[in-house]
A and B are shown apart, each in its own frame.
Chain A
Amino acid sequence: MIERNHTQDYMMESPVEKNKKLIEDITDSYPKKVSKERKTHLVVIDPSEEQHIMADVATIPGIMTNRGCSYAGAKGVVFGPVKDILHLTHGPIGCGYYTWDTRRNLAEPEEGYNYFIKNCFSTNMQEKDVVFGGEKKLYGAIKEAYEIFKPKVIGIYATCPVGLIGDDIKAVAKRAEEELGIKVITVSCEGYKGVSQSAGHHLASNTLIMDIVGTKELENPTPYDINIFGEYNIGGDVWLVKDLLQKIGYRVVSVFTGDSKYDDLAKAHRAKLSILMCHRSINYTNRMMEEKFGVPWLKVNYIGITSTIESLREMAKFFDDPMIYENTEKVIEEELMKIKPRLDYYKERLKGKRAILFVGGSRAHHYQDLLKDIGMETIVAGYEFAHRDDYEGRKIIPEIKEAPHHKILDTYHFERVTEPAYPKEKIEEMKSKMPDHFMNYEGMMVHMEEGSIVIDDFNHHETEELIKALKPDIFLSGIKDRYVFQKMGVPSRQIHSYDYSGPYSSFEGAVNFARDMDMAINNPIWKEVTPPWKK
């Protein structure tokens, strides 16, 4: 059992020196080559230095990583939540099976629309398909899916063998579209592409912009139409946020892609602004939508009370409308009043507790804001599959060297095809008024305290050593390392799936999160780990 006595450890050296030594020690224990590589992925925040981190490079073989694959990014994350697409995995059974209702992207059935996301559809490729080609089976599966389920849209997602044997899924999709008269989209997201889920996000964005966004017109546009990007409605997050936004006077045209429908995505180009939550998984689409349709984007964060307020106010600044300004403040005041007594209760119980935060996407940044709001501190934060811009901000993008795995990922640029809703001057003005968030993202590292540690592509060994040395009060990560560190005596919660709780977004979500932190940290069972006769 780990004794949590923080003060004595910090008496001697400055946290920066101490933690720099700690990460040296941890990485020195590796074989030489691994050590050299891993040192570039760990940084102790030191404001006296210009600091960079290595990210989005190949995982070292044999290291117990938490990273997944391109298919996971494309089918699992970006397209999976779209509720009326029939998602058909072309490949052997495993890939489709593991993405079968295993991510908590909640969605509500809607009258007149299909609802497929509780099911798993697969071509269940067999050895003979790998030897003789799987196109016939894919076409047959599309046809059967069409006959049984009558989908308007089918999505085809490729897995490792598909690319290796050279099945032309685009040609099969085209034939099916012609013969069946439905839409069939494809993502060639074979698992070996790229170095993590991230490649799949990129590929999914390409399909979104090439095949979907801009293919339907929005009825009755209003001046307050917005899209929410990088929001997958884990535990119902987007439902809370939508309520707030609607109260203020916005109309949400589409969510990419939590609780979304194909038609909503197709109309997204008519929104006046896209707000972006998860920067990593979908910012490609925002860039391309701005180029093609002139839809600007604003990086927001509605995980955490302070950051939700900041984001709502920045949105108001963009719309610059008296009604919006007024309603924004009204909603903020009302929500704060509603949650205050409950939040105060938990803040008292969580004061000064220290967290390690390892989550993909942008969550390792977002949840730091929320932890701060409830009186907790983040001592280590890391991403699974982020790029350098997620850590250091988009300003670093020009300096990122192209790696071999980037070459396989097509990057598209567009000429403007429609008149944008706002003149260039307005866009420039907003950029200067909100330099960190308007069509920009400042990254995670700038927000972190001196002496805290940043890790890219964290792995089991490093996590274990960090926990032993830093003795956090809670470990916030995913399912794969939840139980091992819990057994070590460290309270642990899954921040990918919210441990089957949530929603954690905006004001009410902050209370839910605080309740769950209290439950994890102050649970009476911790007292029982050591038997009374051994105490």
Chain B
Amino acid sequence: MEKIAKGESKMECNNTERKYLTVNPLKTCQPLGAVWACLGIHQCMPHSHGSQGCTSYLRMQLTRHFREFIPTTTSSFSEAQVVFGGVGNLKQAIRNILSIYKPKVIGISTTCSAETIGDDVPGTINEMRASGEIPEDVKVFTASTPSYVGSHVTGFSNMVKSAVETFAKKSSPNGKINIIPGLLSPGDLREIKRILKIMGIDAIILPDISDVLDAPMTGEIHLYQKGGTTISEIEDMGNSIATIVLGREAGIAPAESLNEMYNVPYEVLPLPIGISNVDKFIMKLSEITGKPIPYELEEERGRLVDMMLDAHAHWYNKKAAVFGDPDIVEAIVGYANDLGINVLYALTGTYSSEWEKTVKSMVPDAYVSSDNDLWYLKEQLDKKPVDMLFGNSHGKYLAKEYDLPLLRVGFPILDRANLQHFPIVGYKGTAWLVERTGNTLLDYKDAKSPEHLLELIM
């Protein structure tokens, strides 16, 4: 529509250093990440203890990203609860959830209002458990996740940590490995499971949103889909050989807990996106389990190298900015290094000095910042431009303003369909990302070419 297209006009402004104001954030709040984690647990109802707007908003955002149903209940605070406490509402909510939605697990996270007034959520659950109101076969775990601490990434991490601390046990060794996959898409999880199968490795993945947020269209309604990590699997995590953390920021906390509680060693790896990151993952799997790397994977790798060679001219030496959640940014920076793309900016909104150190070591000449926003990137692009953007949908306005191709990766992707079904992890997923990278740049080149310079052979 013509009227909308005019909206691309540049905004006049002065660039200044900001100390108090955030403009166009690269993070959202803890409760969203907490609910995301709960969705990857089998038959779990995520419950958000606090005001109902929080739940409405995060359900909206997750639904738009996944294009799937996001069940979540709320304690629906009103003035009375913030004055007199929200425990009464929590109890009422639990009773209703048990009776109406019949979950096997309830994952309770908190929002700002509940945390500010200081409701005792674990105490309330213990009380309801003791009185028999919560039956034994329904498991409950809780995490403190106000929006004024961390980001959706820490919310995810806190919720997974709580699941592990609440349920994991130690009995006899199971010969399995644990994988904490962070905020990956259902397609990515499916690919990780395929790799594990090829290698013959038995693993417990927590959380696992495949078969939950990519359920097939059947004409039937299911409040809970067939997927998700089961409680008995989580219980078994204390018996595993080791834990592999894919993405430090979202996953190291639960791995540390398992280590402290049950001496399960852990390895922190980047998300397996990009050939070197996938190599690290495959070799670590082999090292931990003693299983050889099958030739089938070597072939996949070989095909990927072939594709990268065939298309290298399309991206080599391009300058890029990468933004989004910390773990995906780190992985994409590695991917860019593999391709010979120069990353000038790597930005996230979730603060972590460890992350900054790691990413800085990968791209020493880039601007790397973990407590930042997209307005900062805009200001920098005026001074030092790039050729392309890697990031979430929020980058589309920058892409428009600076006339840049945007390769959509990470969360949220609100303006393109079906991407969450296609993996970007593993050799096969990376191959698909390579295809998108090269051909996006070629589409862009074609769109910019005058007619007489439009070429058939590229």
Contacts and interface: CB of A to CB of B under 8 A. Distances in A.
Given A93-B147, A95-B57, A487-B215, A65 B52 contact: yes
B375 A487 contact: no
Given A59-B76, A61-B74, A92-B148, A137 B63 contact: no
Given A106-B3, A148-B18, A192-B78, A98 B60 contact: yes
B82 interface: yes
A480 B70 contact: yes
Contacts of A139: 20
B183 interface: no
Interface stretch (A42-50, A112-120, A288-296, A444-452): A112-120
Interface string A302-345: 00000000000000000000000000000000000000000000
A68 B56 contact: yes
A65 B22 CA distance: 31
Given A98-B57, A480-B70, 9 more contacts: A2-B219, A67-B76, A96-B22, A120-B23, A120-B24, A160-B116, A161-B116, A163-B82, A461-B101
B52 A487 contact: no
A479 B63 contact: yes
Given A30-B100, A115-B7, A124 B217 contact: no
Contacts of A120: 22-25
Contacts, number: 280
B22 A121 contact: yes
Interface stretch (B85-93, B125-133, B173-181, B257-265): B85-93
Interface stretch (B8-16, B291-299, B309-317, B358-366): B8-16
Interface string A160-189: 110111000000000000000000000000
Nearest to A145: B21
Contact of A108 (B3, B13, B18, B96): B3
A487 B218 contact: yes
A403 to B, nearest CB: 10
Nearest to B152: A94
A148 B20 CA distance: 12
A160 B111 contact: yes
Given A98-B58, A118-B397, A164-B116, A106 B4 contact: yes
A108 B7 contact: yes
Interface stretch (A126-134, A263-271, A391-399): A126-134
B81 A192 contact: yes
Interface in A84-100: 88, 91-100
A147 B14 contact: yes
B391 interface: no
Interface residues of B, number: 89
A80 interface: no
B71 A460 contact: yes
Contacts of B77: 191-192
A493 interface: no
B68 interface: yes
Interface in B35-72: 47, 50-54, 56-61, 63-64, 67-72
Interface string A461-498: 10010001000000000011111111111000000000
Contacts of B112: 91-92, 94, 130, 159-161
B96 A63 contact: yes
Most chain B CB neighbours (cut-off 10 Å) among A72, A92, A194: A92
Interchain residue pairs A-B with the least CB separation, the first 4: A69-B53, A94-B29, A62-B93, A140-B20
Given A148-B13, A487-B69, A191 B25 contact: no
Contact of A192 (B3, B63, B79, B223): B79
A126 B20 contact: no
B60 A480 contact: yes
Contact of A61 (B69, B71, B90): B90
Given A147-B14, A480-B56, A31 B99 contact: yes
A250 B14 CA distance: 40
A4 to B, nearest CB: 12
A510 interface: no
Interface string B172-216: 000000000000000000000000000000000000000000010
